[in-house]
Amino acid sequence: NGVEQLGEMIARASVIVPFTGAGISTECGIPDFRSPGGLWSRNRPIPFDEFIASREARDESWRRRFAIDATFKAAAPGRGHRALAALYRAGKIPAIVTQNIDNLHQASGFADDHVVELHGNTTYARCIGCGLTYDLGWVRQRFEASGHAPDCATCHEPVKTATISFGQAMPEEAMRRATELAAQCDLFIAIGSSLVVWPAAGFPLMAKRSGAQLVIINNEPTEQDDIADLVIRHDIGDTLGPFVGN
C-alpha cells in the first residue's frame, strides 16, 4: 500500500518538506472542511469583504469561533503530527508548510519559526487595521458583555481571528518561505489536503517542477494525484504512526 516505499523515500531524502491540510487533524477531533460533515457542509464560509462590511457577519463569525473553541482547546497532536515532529528533530525537515490554523504542529514540537502558516492561526486574534494581536479571551469577554464583536482598542477597526479568509490577501512572508522550501526540498509530502484551494495548492506542483519527488497521503482522491510519484490513499495516522512506533 505504499508505506514501505514511503519509508525508503524518507530514508533517501535529505531535505523533506511536509505540506499539511485539515486531514492531519481530524483524528485530533477537529473537523476538516470538505468531507461529509466537514465545516463547509455545516456553514457557508464568511468572505473577508463581508466580515469588513457587516457587523452581523462579524458577530456570526465570532459566535462560530466560540462554539468550536472547546474542540480546539481539547485537541492534542495526533500520530501524523508526532511522526513529522520526529523527522524534524532528526534534522530531515527544515520547516513545515501548513494550511492549518490549529497550532498543532507547534504543539507537537516544531519551533514557531519553522511552521509556515499559509492561512494563519485561529488560536489568537488580530486587528485588521493596525495588526495588533489579542487573546481570544479578550475578544470573548467583550463579546459577552456587549453582545457584539469588539473593535480594536487602539484604532477601532474590526478584530478577527488571525486567519486568512476567502478574499483576504495571502501572508507575503509565508508565501515567500513556502516558495523557497518547495524549490529546495528533494521530497515534498502533501498530507490531508484536498488540494483545491489556491494559491496554497500550487506548492506541491511547484516542488514537483523544481525536481522534488512528490508524495500525497490522503484518504480520498486529490486534484494532483496524477502528478505524484506516490499516492497513499489511506488514513494518515495509520500511515505515519509506524514511523514513531504507534
Residues numbered 164 to 193 that lie near ligand OAD (CB under 6 A) are 164, 192-193
CA dist., res. 178 & res. 23, Å (int): 20
Q: Which of 31, 38, 129, 171 binds Zn ion (CB under 5 A)?
A: 129
Residues numbered 156 to 175 that lie near Zn ion (CB under 5 A) are 157
The C-alpha R_g of the chain, in whole angstroms, comes to 18
Torsion sign (Cα): 128, 130, 136, 139:
negative
The answer to whether 235 contacts ligand OAD (rule: CB under 6 A) is: yes
The answer to whether 102 contacts ligand OAD (rule: CB under 6 A) is: no
With 0-12 CB in 10 A as exposed, 13-18 as middle and 19+ as buried, what is 89? exposed
Per CB under 5 A, which region of 55-63, 104-112, 129-137, 188-196 contacts Zn ion?
129-137
CA dist., res. 219 & res. 234, Å (int): 4
The answer to whether 117 contacts ligand OAD (rule: CB under 6 A) is: no
Q: Number of C-alpha atoms within 13 angstroms, CB side, residue 225?
A: 12
User: Site residues (CB under 6 A) for ligand OAD?
Assistant: 21-23, 26-27, 32-35, 38, 99, 119, 164, 192-194, 197, 218-220, 235-236
User: Site residues (CB under 5 A) for Zn ion?
Assistant: 127, 129-130, 132, 152, 154-155, 157
Q: Which residues are catalytic?
A: 119
